[in-house]
Structure 1
Amino acid sequence: MVDKISNMKPYSKIGKMTIVLALGISISACSNSRSIRGYVFDAELADAITAGIDNRQSVESTLGTPTVRGTFSNDVWYYVSTTVKVRPVFWPEAKEHRVLAVGFNESGIVEKIENFDLSDMQVINPVGGKTKTRGTNIGFFQQIFGSLGRFGGQAPVGAPQGGNGPNGS
């Protein structure tokens, strides 16, 4: 009996270590994390851009390519950075948000520089309704079985038959 108990001790130690390791991994999976999304700001580089002196080429060589260029014109470049807190099961929560907007004039010289932060951020709630479309609303089973009986046993496309084809064949 003593031999059986002494033989089980190494297995019980491995079992306990496995349980402790599994618990440690599962607890660490529930921890919060932070991630930076978008442009990674360097305050010294962003402050080095000067209105009236820098142009598109110097801004791009200093800050890199913009996150977003203006939608309707190329006169404004946006450098967007958001630091979010990621918690398991919940939506990511913005903790820090910064947008550097660099505006250019017609000749490509920096005209104005604007900084926006989390207080300027606005939450947009899309409308939850549905847009009505023309046509019929068919259900799941109608989509699956709707073509039953539609085909009258005619010959398949390309099969030789006389007179019914689109070009009289």
Structure 2
Amino acid sequence: MTTRFKARTSTPVLLCVAAGLALSACGNGRMVRGYVFDKQLADAIQPGVDNRQSVESTLGTPTVRAAFNENKWYYVSTTVRVRPVFWPDPKEHRVMAVAFNDKGVVTDVENFDLSDMRSVNPVGDKTPTRGRDLNFFQQIFGNVGRFSGAAPVGSGPTRGPNG
């Protein structure tokens, strides 16, 4: 009788625990990607006052340095909502662009947010190549019979084409 009683009381508990675990997997999570901004530190950067060294000591190393202009640094931060099965959904986005002159003094500080973010869709076209278009079976069986039974170069007594 006690075995039946334990089975009856533990089943609902196990079902509740399993349902709780299953529902927690469906929850939304937030994740910060990139630089973690401190508003006071970011607002402290002043054009004409700060230089490369002071910016780096205040904000840290930049997320990205401009590829063709070493005088522009970018601090990028994106907060996304992460949901199971779906792509991450950006909720907050901030880019701080710091420009320097040739002497390394800050000339401009620009801030961009989520409204400035653009979606880039790559082109799905194919690049044409020279040669033959092979179907599936030609690719699989195309080399059958193309090779003779001769030993490969370098495996004979001469050890190569030049002896």
Same-fold call, TM cutoff 0.5? yes
Corresponding position of 1:129: 125
Residue type of the partner of 1:32? N
CA distance, structure 2, for counterparts of residue 14 and residue 140 of structure 1 = 57
Residue 8 (structure 1) aligns with = 4
- Map of 2:161 onto structure 1: 166
What is the aligned partner in structure 2 of residue 113 from structure 1? 109
Q: For residue 45 of structure 1, what is the amino acid of its counterpart?
A: L
Deviations 1:51-99 (A, max 9, x none): 0111111100000010000011211000000111112222111111100
Compute the RMSD of aligned alpha carbons: 1.7
2:146 to 147, 150, 156: 150
Equivalent position to 1:82, from 73, 78, 86: 78
Alignment coverage as a number of residue pairs: 162
SS of the residue corresponding to residue 23 of structure 1 reads: helix
Distance 1:160 1:36 in 2: 62
Question: In percent, how many aligned pairs have the same letter?
Answer: 60
- Three-state SS of the structure 1 residue aligned to 2:12 is helix
Where do residues 37-56 of structure 1 align in structure 2 (5 Å cutoff)?
37-56=33-52
**Which residues of structure 1 form unaligned runs of 5+?**
none
Number of the residue aligned with 2:16: 20
TM-score (norm 1): 0.88
Aligned residue for 2:42, secondary structure, equals helix
Superposed displacement of residue 134, structure 1? 2.1
Q: What residue number does 2:57 align with? A: 61
Report the Cα distance in structure 2 between the residues aligned to 1:129 and 1:156, rounded to whole angstroms: 40
Candidates 73, 94, 99, aligned match of 1:98? 94
CA distance in 2, matches of 1:161, 1:141: 38
User: Counterparts of 1:22 and 1:158 in 2: how far apart (Å)?
Assistant: 65
When Rg is computed on C-alpha atoms for both structures, the one with the higher figure is 1
CA gap of 1:139–1:13, structure 2 versus 1, over 3 A, is farther
Measured at CA, do residues 57 and 140 of structure 1 come closer, stay the same or move farther in structure 2, by a change above 3 Å? farther
Distance, in Å, in 2 between the alignment partners of 1:139 and 1:158 is 34
Query: 3-state SS of the aligned residue for 2:9?
Result: helix
Distance 1:159-1:122 versus aligned 2 partners, 3 A rule: closer
User: Structure 2: where are the runs of 5+ without partners?
Assistant: none
**Would you say the 8 A contact 2:154–2:161 is kept in 1?**
no
Q: CA deviation at 1:15?
A: 2.4
